[in-house]
């Protein structure tokens, strides 16, 4: 049986270089101690923020410097844990950082409380009198918007001190997923046992051309999930109940209102994304599912078949080196500065692409201020991996440009905007590939890669958002959330979306267990919003060329200086209306049309309208 590598056995060139953050664990230890000692330099301002704008400026600058150091310390620990969650030293380091962040949050909570206790109009007067406060304008104005929902200084300090406890659902989920969950080997085509894991299933077996391999791997995967469903349901329920309780304490109409407040997104826009895509995308994806069943010659299409390649004998491999060249070529349209960031990321070990025991699943990009981005994924040699890499490089390019142009308080935009730069890179890569296709079989294959992007963001993540919406409603109605409730709700959501085109079996109902996004606020639906915006902005680039590209780059460099709808408008799209969402959904329909025509012309059972 093939053996998964331990972290110590992974080739170093396939790992990120954490020495760029700290040259050794000892250097990290020293900085962590120094950060703890530096907290007193900020708390020295406690009780003094009403003395005038100069004092407020000095306090905010001291806090900014401390937060920059704390971010680096925390990122180092998080990346080590993500690379190997089974390592006790990594677990301990992450735990210590969690404790430190909770302590710092509690001790610095006085800043927000004292600012909100200033007399009406004082913040505006401070901003006018002290030019040095300009970089903190957005922070101060956003804070004032929270004033109706702030509690007493003592209560805010107590909540901040509980930061590590409030983060427990996410930490329990990720620790169990990385360190404890195991999946039994399954029997491969040659009768030999094949290893399984979260990363191997999601990056390799789920897209295997052999239905026997797909289904055997899925059976192993589902059995592994089932053993943890009650534990994970408890963590999910705790996360939901935490947000409901905090929303009531802070006098929000609902947890949804509270979670959308920092995103600066109206509830109507959130509902619009969820409702429009589910209603209008479902017919196109059902056609795609019917096409898949007929082309693959399956009597029934099970949930584990919905990502199977439609042309199993045509699977162009993609090495990391080939993907590097392809991505750099595609993203050249975004100009030399952006290209330089991409080349450095791909060539200087910003990316951890190995598979090893204990490594975090999925993919992410961390961008600690003052350093550079770090990307995690698992490379399995498929073009889907190239799209994932392009996606994470979109985050890297965004935050590197923001960090070069903004102070720390202004680097992070609303979560609503965050997935637009990442999905933009996927759209650029897909269209670049299509433009080069001369062979119909290759063109068909590229269309399927693009549809993979839409499936991931418009289906997988969007339906996660729908589950969140339903669970929040249940909790606010005082109803319990259990594994059975989650399984039934997930099954109902999938059945409503796919209709009778996909068999929603036990494994499908357990898919709520696969993603960490439920523990990150109302994050899942933002993938769909970002992709819809990216489609519209890319179309503008195609029509207008350089001016549209410059608008896009300016939006990236603006970081968090503007609210999300203003950032979107700067880039050339109005997300306050459903038009961009409908245009993106219509684009999916056009891609499915092209596939149906192509497979029909290739003789797969005649015209495949399926309508």
What separation in angstroms does the CA of 523 have from each of 164, 461, 465, 529? 20, 9, 8, 10
The whole-number average pLDDT for the span 517-527 is 93
Q: Does residue 572 lie in a domain region?
A: yes
Q: Report the run of H or E that residue 376 belongs to, with start and end.
A: strand 374-376
Cβ 64 vs Cβ 13: under 8 Å: no
Q: Does residue 94 lie in a domain region?
A: yes
In total, how many domains does the chain have? 2
Task: Indicate whether 317 pLDDT > 90.
Answer: no
Domain with 59 in it = 9-166
User: pLDDT of 157-199, one tens digit each?
Assistant: 899 999 889 999 999 999 898 888 999 999 988 889 999 988 8
User: Cα(565)–Cα(587) distance, rounded to whole angstroms?
Assistant: 22
* Whether residue 140 is found in the same domain as residue 33: yes
Of 138, 166, 194, at which residue does a domain stop?
A: 166
Q: What are the tokens at 486?
A: 């989650």
Of 166, 194, 213, at which residue does a domain stop?
A: 166
* Whether residue 271 is found in the same domain as residue 162: no
What's the residue count for the chain? 611
Q: Does residue 228 lie in a domain region?
A: no
Q: pLDDT band at 383, cuts 50/70/90? A: confident
Q: What are phi and psi of 476, to 5 degrees?
A: -70, -20
User: pLDDT of 246-274, one tens digit each?
Assistant: 999 999 999 999 999 999 999 999 999 99
Q: Does residue 416 lie in a domain region?
A: yes
Mean pLDDT of the chain: 93
Q: pLDDT band at 604, cuts 50/70/90? A: low
Task: Indicate whether 605 pLDDT > 80.
Answer: no
Q: Does residue 571 lie in a domain region?
A: yes
CATH assignment at residue 556? 1.10.1370.20
DSSP 458: I
Q: Report the run of H or E that residue 366 belongs to, with start and end.
A: strand 364-366
Q: Report the run of H or E that residue 528 belongs to, with start and end.
A: helix 524-544
Q: Which of 142, 169, 153, 356 is nearest to 262 (CA)?
A: 142
User: 589: buried, middle or exposed (CB in 10 Å: 19+, 13-18, 0-12)?
Assistant: middle
CATH assignment at residue 63? 1.20.140.70
* Whether residue 460 is found in the same domain as residue 312: yes
User: Cα(178)–Cα(171) distance, rounded to whole angstroms?
Assistant: 11
User: Cα(442)–Cα(311) distance, rounded to whole angstroms?
Assistant: 10
* Whether residue 141 is found in the same domain as residue 270: no
User: What is the three-class DSSP state of 353?
Assistant: coil
Q: Does residue 258 lie in a domain region?
A: no
pTM: 0.88
- What's residue 56's pLDDT? 98
Q: Report the run of H or E that residue 365 belongs to, with start and end.
A: strand 364-366
Higher pLDDT, 16 or 317: 16
Q: Does residue 206 lie in a domain region?
A: no
* Whether residue 398 is found in the same domain as residue 533: yes
The whole-number average pLDDT for the span 195-219 is 90
Transcribe 175-204 into DSSP letters: HIIIII--EEEEE-TTS-EEEE-HHHHHHT
User: Cα(111)–Cα(46) distance, rounded to whole angstroms?
Assistant: 7
User: Cα(145)–Cα(519) distance, rounded to whole angstroms?
Assistant: 24
User: What is the three-class DSSP state of 24?
Assistant: coil
- What's residue 575's pLDDT? 93
Radius of gyration of the CA atoms of the chain, in A: 24
User: What is the three-class DSSP state of 371?
Assistant: coil
User: pLDDT of 325-345, one tens digit each?
Assistant: 999 999 999 999 999 999 999
- Cα of 321 vs its chain's centroid, Å: 25
* Whether residue 321 is found in the same domain as residue 428: yes
User: Cα(291)–Cα(285) distance, rounded to whole angstroms?
Assistant: 10
Q: 């406890």: which residue's tokens?
A: 165
* Whether residue 270 is found in the same domain as residue 162: no
User: Cα(80)–Cα(94) distance, rounded to whole angstroms?
Assistant: 8
Cβ 142 vs Cβ 85: under 8 Å: no
Higher pLDDT, 362 or 605: 362
Q: What are phi and psi of 374, to 5 degrees?
A: -130, 125
User: Cα(439)–Cα(314) distance, rounded to whole angstroms?
Assistant: 12
Residue 290 CB neighbours (<10 A): 21
Task: Indicate whether 391 pLDDT > 60.
Answer: yes
DSSP 501: S
Instruction: Supply the angle between the helices 524-544 and 579-601 in degrees, to the nearest 10.
Output: 80
* Whether residue 288 is found in the same domain as residue 157: no
Q: What are phi and psi of 195, to 5 degrees?
A: -70, 150
- What's residue 609's pLDDT? 35
Beta bridge mates, 365: 375
Cβ 376 vs Cβ 385: under 8 Å: no
User: What is the three-class DSSP state of 310?
Assistant: coil
- What's residue 365's pLDDT? 98
Q: pLDDT band at 4, cuts 50/70/90? A: confident
Q: What are phi and psi of 185, to 5 degrees?
A: -60, 155
> What is the β-pairing status of strands 193-196 and 364-366?
unpaired
- What's residue 437's pLDDT? 86
Percent of the chain's residues with pLDDT above 70: 98
User: 360: buried, middle or exposed (CB in 10 Å: 19+, 13-18, 0-12)?
Assistant: buried
User: 482: buried, middle or exposed (CB in 10 Å: 19+, 13-18, 0-12)?
Assistant: middle
Task: Indicate whether 29 pLDDT > 80.
Answer: yes
Q: Does residue 336 lie in a domain region?
A: yes
Residue 478 CB neighbours (<10 A): 7
Of 130, 147, 166, at which residue does a domain stop?
A: 166
């Amino acid at each position: 049986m093939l053996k998964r590598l331990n972290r110590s056995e992974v080739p170093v060139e396939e790992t990120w270089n954490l020495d760029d953050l700290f040259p050794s664990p000892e250097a990290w230890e020293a900085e962590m101690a120094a950060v703890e000692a530096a907290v007193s330099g900020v708390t020295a301002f406690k009780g003094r923020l009403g003395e005038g704008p100069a004092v407020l400026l000095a306090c905010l600058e001291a806090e900014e410097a401390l937060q920059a150091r704390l971010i680096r310390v925390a990122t180092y620990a998080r990346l080590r844990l993500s690379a190997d969650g089974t390592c006790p030293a990594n677990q301990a380091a992450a735990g210590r950082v969690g404790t430190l962040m909770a302590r710092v949050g509690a001790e610095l909570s006085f800043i927000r409380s004292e600012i909100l206790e200033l007399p009406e109009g004082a913040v505006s007067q401070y901003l006018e009198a002290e030019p040095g406060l300009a970089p903190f304008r957005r922070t101060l104005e956003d804070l004032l918007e929270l004033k109706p929902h702030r509690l007493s200084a003592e209560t805010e300090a107590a909540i901040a001190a509980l930061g590590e406890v409030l983060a427990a659902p996410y930490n329990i989920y990720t620790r169990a997923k990385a360190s404890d969950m195991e999946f039994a080997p399954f029997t491969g085509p040659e009768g030999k046992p094949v290893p399984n894991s979260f990363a191997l299933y999601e990056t390799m077996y789920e897209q295997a051309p052999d239905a026997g391999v797909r289904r055997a791997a899925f059976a192993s995967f589902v059995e592994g999930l089932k053993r943890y469903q009650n534990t994970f349901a408890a963590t999910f329920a705790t996360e939901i109940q935490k947000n409901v309780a905090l929303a009531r304490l802070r006098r929000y109409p609902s947890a949804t209102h509270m979670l959308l407040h920092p995103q600066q997104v109206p509830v109507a826009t959130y509902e619009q994304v969820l409702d429009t895509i589910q209603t209008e995308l479902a017919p196109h994806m059902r056609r795609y599912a019917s096409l898949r069943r007929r082309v693959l010659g399956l009597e029934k299409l099970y949930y584990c078949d919905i990502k199977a390649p439609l042309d199993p004998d045509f699977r162009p491999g993609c090495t990391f080196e080939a993907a590097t060249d392809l991505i750099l070529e595609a993203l050249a349209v975004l100009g030399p500065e952006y290209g330089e960031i991409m080349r450095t990321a791909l060539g200087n070990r910003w990316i951890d692409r190995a598979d090893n025991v204990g490594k975090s699943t999925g993919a992410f990009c961390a961008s600690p201020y003052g350093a550079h981005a770090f990307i995690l994924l698992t490379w399995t040699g498929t073009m889907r991996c190239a799209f994932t890499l392009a996606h994470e490089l979109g985050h890297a390019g965004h935050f590197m440009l923001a960090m070069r142009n903004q102070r720390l308080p202004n680097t992070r935009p609303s979560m609503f905007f965050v997935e637009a730069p990442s999905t933009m890179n996927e759209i650029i890569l897909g269209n670049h590939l299509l433009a080069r296709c001369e062979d119909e079989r290759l063109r068909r294959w590229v269309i399927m890669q693009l549809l993979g992007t839409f499936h991931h963001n418009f289906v997988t993540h969007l339906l996660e958002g729908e589950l969140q919406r339903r669970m929040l409603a249940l909790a606010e109605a005082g109803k319990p959330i259990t594994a059975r409730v989650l399984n039934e709700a997930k099954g109902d959501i999938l059945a409503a979306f796919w209709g009778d085109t996909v068999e929603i079996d036990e494994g499908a109902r357990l898919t709520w267990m696969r993603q960490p996004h439920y523990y990150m606020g109302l994050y899942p639906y933002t993938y769909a919003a970002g992709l819809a915006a990216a489609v519209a902005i890319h179309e503008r680039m195609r029509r207008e060329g350089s001016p549209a590209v410059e608008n896009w780059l300016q939006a990236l460099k603006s970081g968090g200086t503007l609210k999300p709808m203003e950032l979107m408008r700067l880039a050339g799209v109005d997300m306050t209306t459903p038009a961009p969402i409908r245009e993106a959904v219509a684009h999916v329909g056009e891609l499915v049309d092209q596939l149906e025509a192509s497979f029909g012309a290739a003789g797969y059972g005649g015209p495949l309208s399926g309508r």
